[in-house]
Amino acid sequence: MANSKILIVDDDPDLRQALRLRLRANNYDTVNAVDGYSAIAVAYKEHPDIIILDLGLPAGDGFVVLDRLQKDDKLSTIPVIVLTARDPQSSERRALMAGAAAFFQKPADSAELLEVIRATLPKTATGTVLPS
């Protein structure tokens, strides 16, 4: 069975690389986007199972992306995990109300992040994780 596919949206190449290493070591496939605009384009093309989204992005920040995702029939079903340097007091509630499934502040504990990814992936009736 194919691996689940995760779209990483962050303008920081180091973070993208670190996440990629982690996720692949846990048998997830990854694709990247570096800004708000390409985030939507890549989501359309690749139809990932989960999106990990930074908030401070060029060309349309994370909230613009969340909004666009919610408005699209196909894309709105993809769960979004926000991973941002911004602090929860100002951003967490807003992100969750905008449709995010979870909120993490950088640096995030890898084990916790992986656990939430696992719990958030769409599952089949038998509890097997569905690929895209």
Partner 1 sequence: MKDQPTRVLLIEDNPGDTDLVRLRLVEGKSPVDVNCVNRLADGLDSLKKRSPSVILLDLNLPDSRGAETFRKVLESAPNVPVVILSGQDDEELAMKALHQGVQDYLVKGAFSSSSLDRAMRYAVERQALLRSLEMSRKQQLEFKNQFLSHVSHELRTPLTSIHQFTGILLDGLAGEMKPEQRDHLKTIMKSVNQLTAMVRDLLEATRAESGKLCIESRCVAIGDLIRQAVAMMQPAAREKGVGLEVGVDTRIPLVHGDPGRILEVLINLIENGIKFTPQGGAVTVRASLVQTDPDFVYISVMDTGCGISPEARALIFERLYQDPNAVDNNRKGLGLGLFIAKELVNLHGGRIWVASEPGSGSTFSFTLPLYSIAKLLLPVITHEGRLREDIVLVKVGLKPRSKPIQANWRETCRRCFDVLQRCVYLDKDLVLPAMTVGGAEETFVVVASTDLVRANVMMTRIRKQLEKVNGLNGTGELEVSALAVPLPERDGELSLDGQVERVARTISGMVRMVLGDQSSPEGQ
Among 21, 41, 59, 130, binds partner 1 (CB under 8 A): 21
**Backbone dihedral region for residue 47 (phi beyond 0: left; psi -120 to 50: alpha; all else: beta):** left
50 lies in the site for partner 1, by CB under 8 A? no
**Beta carbons of 51 and 78 less than 8 angstroms apart:** yes
Least gap, CB of 18 to partner 1 (angstroms): 4
Site for partner 1 in 90-109 (CB under 8 A): 92-93, 96-97, 101-103, 105-107
Name 5's bridge partners: 29
- Tokens at residue 47, please? 């139809």
| Among positions 41, 59, 119, 130, the unique one binding partner 1 when judged by CB under 8 A | 119
Among 89, 124, 126, 128, binds partner 1 (CB under 8 A): 89
Please select the residue that binds partner 1; options are 5, 22, 68, 118, rule is CB under 8 A. Answer: 22
- Asked if 128 touches partner 1 (CB under 8 A), the answer is no
